[in-house]
Structure 1
Amino acid sequence: MLVLDAGNALFKSPTPGGDPKEKERAGLLLEQMDALGTTAMAVGARDLTLGTDCLARATKGRTMKLLSANLVDAAGKPLFPASTVATGGGVKFGLVGLSPEGPVTPQKGVVGSPPVPAALAESRRLREKEKVDVVVVLAAVPYQDAVKLSQEVGNAVDFILHSHEGRGQGVAQRNDFASLVPTGERGRQVGRLELSVEGKGPFVDLSEEERARQQLKILDTHLQQARQSLAAAKDEKVRKTWEETIASFEARRKALELQVEPGKQGLGRTHRLSYIQLGSNVADDSAVKQLVERIEPPGSASH
């Protein structure tokens, strides 16, 4: 198992000064992420609230790697490693970090270069030089940039784990070869991405079969109702409308049936995405809870 973070994890706002204990809070988060065995985190806007120097000092000596393939200083020098290589379950992973494009507000001269070319160059290097089995981009960039990346990287990237707007949990979206994966919001969920890496080609989403079966049930109900309405209709225009509707439903049904054919989803490389919701049903760790309450006491506005 690899534990990864797509960034935007440390501060509540990209603008400093909103919380008197923001630095202490970020330090606790980094400490706990390291304790969890987090392999790597992308550097996002909400990780740079106090600047890159502060972030680098806070993570010095930690096992977790901070990654950004496109964050550079005034001289164009990279501020963090572009990628790292990690092995899990006998599989070699290439992990790339991306930061948002444009200047970093708290620190003059620091800028994020265009993310797509940076991700593509580093992902290709990992494929060709490091011979990795799976490439994962930790994309702490706006959603539209993540979508653009998924459409333009070809087969250089397998997964793009996205954070920026706090979109919450959702389904994996494959636009071409790469799958774009939402990572939850505000630490309220843990995403679990299970992989089978046998074979070649893009990863197939096993959840698509489950969703297709659910949609088939709904569609069959609509088809039955439409056929009943057609049988009861007397007016030819109305009958024609219902016939067209039924034809549309039947075409959609055939497409869904292809997704649930026995054995179809079991071939090649596959993935299954699920989430653990960190609500009241998940017990607190008493030691961590004490550390949190030193910063955010019970009853405080931020607790």
Structure 2
Amino acid sequence: MAIEAERAKGAAVLVLDAGNALFKFPNSTGDKNEKARAELLLKQMDAMGTVAMAVGARDLTLGLNFLRNGAKGAKMKLLSANLVDKEGKPVFPASTVATVGGLKIGVVGASPEGTLPESKGLPVGPAVLAEARRLREKEKVDVVVLLAAVPYEVTRRLASQAEGVDFVMQSHEGRGPGVAYRDGLATMVPPGERGRQVARLELAVSGPGTFQDLATAGQAKESLKNLEANLKRAKERLAATKDEAARKALEETVASFEARRAALQKDAKLDATGMARTHQLSYIQLGADKPSDPAVQKLVERIEPPGSSDHGHPH
């Protein structure tokens, strides 16, 4: 419903999932409903127009064949640049390209390294960097997004070296919402946790260059207001002070404030026209104030009846 509301505004929308979406745990608990719940999630993700999902450990709980069969006939792409089968062959496509709002967006998936059900995760870094390079050189994409269903620390190391990757959306531990921040070459984007939020990343692209965060501009403007007031008071005190030692200290303070003001003024201008690439992250909270789709709710209640400990939104 939240995504439909975004589309109704006329915005160009690309729905992605960072993975670890289908099961609560990487290993089966024997719960009789876990298979039906995962199948429902796959169908509903596809129905709401999800273009791609990375394959994480909590998507392989019932094995590789279950995931493959569950995604048959779906428009949603399951992606992994580093997941191979027992013969060493790639299990899923490494990436997909979507054209949204006139932009060509390359989406790469990454899975955890090591042994996984019926498969193995090769080293993430080389696989992702090679695919990002291919998307830039061969597909001529405008933006590259990495869906990283891998541990947070692995993702951070990757982002710092991810030449060609613009944004990294990570899932593995369930870290919840946060702020977008640049970590080396790429910007990390927390996607929310277990369907409780939808991360809304707005992009504006009118040319080449590095993406600038509009949230930085807003924070800089608030800091600039406070700094201007402090600078004014410091200058007033300096004008009224006769003691040389006190004047020297105040002059140093004024110089420090003015240097800081110049830096903040630069950041505060990021939302002005003329910026080639900007982004802004916000979250849509999926609480009680967001009504469920009645048809979907009925499907959920067949698996998790009202009053059961697991009852809730499917995703």
Alignment TM-score, normalising by the size of structure 1: 0.88
Q: Distance in 1 between matches of 2:246 and 2:61?
A: 61
Distance 1:79 1:202, change over 3 A: same
Q: Distance in 1 between matches of 2:84 and 2:36?
A: 26
Matched, 1:256 2:268: no
Distance 1:45 1:222, change over 3 A: farther
Q: Which residue of structure 1 lines up, in the alignment, with residue 143 of structure 2? A: 134
Q: Distance in 2 between matches of 1:266 and 1:277?
A: 32
Name the Cα RMSD after superposition: 2.8
Give the superposition deviation at 1:230. Answer: 10
Q: Is the 8 A contact 1:227 1:246 kept in 2?
A: yes
Can you list the C-alpha shifts for 1:164-209, whole angstroms capped at 9, x where unaligned?
A: 1211112211123321111000101111112122111111111210
Give the superposition deviation at 1:296. Answer: 1.2
Q: Is the 8 A contact 1:206 1:265 kept in 2?
A: no
Distance 1:237 1:29, change over 3 A: farther
Name whichever of 120-129 and 258-267 sits farther off.
258-267
Q: Provide the secondary structure at the position in 2 that maps to 1:191.
A: strand
Q: What amino acid sits opposite 1:289 in the alignment?
A: Q
Q: Distance in 1 between matches of 2:19 and 2:268?
A: 35
Please show how residues 209-224 of structure 1 align to structure 2 within 5 Å.
209-217=217-225
Q: What amino acid sits opposite 1:299 in the alignment?
A: G
Matched, 1:298 2:306: yes
Q: Provide the secondary structure at the position in 2 that maps to 1:261.
A: helix
Q: What amino acid sits opposite 2:282 in the alignment?
A: S
Matched, 1:54 2:63: no
Q: Is the 8 A contact 2:52 2:77 kept in 1?
A: yes
Matched, 1:26 2:38: yes
Can you list the C-alpha shifts for 1:263-295, whole angstroms capped at 9, x where unaligned?
A: 657411111211111111111111111111111
Q: Is the 8 A contact 1:204 1:265 kept in 2?
A: no
Quick one: which of 134, 159, 162 aligns to 1:125? 134
Quick one: which of 81, 95, 114 aligns to 1:102? 114
Q: Is the 8 A contact 2:208 2:276 kept in 1?
A: yes
Identity %: 61
Quick one: which of 115, 123, 129 aligns to 1:114? 123
Quick one: which of 291, 297, 304 aligns to 1:289? 297
Q: Which residue of structure 1 lines up, in the alignment, with residue 86 of structure 2? A: 74
Q: Provide the secondary structure at the position in 2 that maps to 1:28.
A: helix
Q: Distance in 2 between matches of 1:208 and 1:100?
A: 32
Give the superposition deviation at 1:228. Answer: 10
Give the superposition deviation at 1:216. Answer: 3.3
Q: Provide the secondary structure at the position in 1 that maps to 2:173.
A: coil
Q: Is the 8 A contact 1:166 1:185 kept in 2?
A: yes
Give the superposition deviation at 1:218. Answer: 5.1
Quick one: which of 98, 104, 118 aligns to 1:86? 98
Give the superposition deviation at 1:36. Answer: 0.3
Can you list the C-alpha shifts for 1:202-240, whole angstroms capped at 9, x where unaligned?
A: 111112101222333455677789999999xxxx99999
Matched, 1:149 2:158: yes
Any stretches of 5+ residues in structure 1 without a counterpart?
none
Q: How many residues align?
A: 299
Alignment TM-score, normalising by the size of structure 2: 0.85
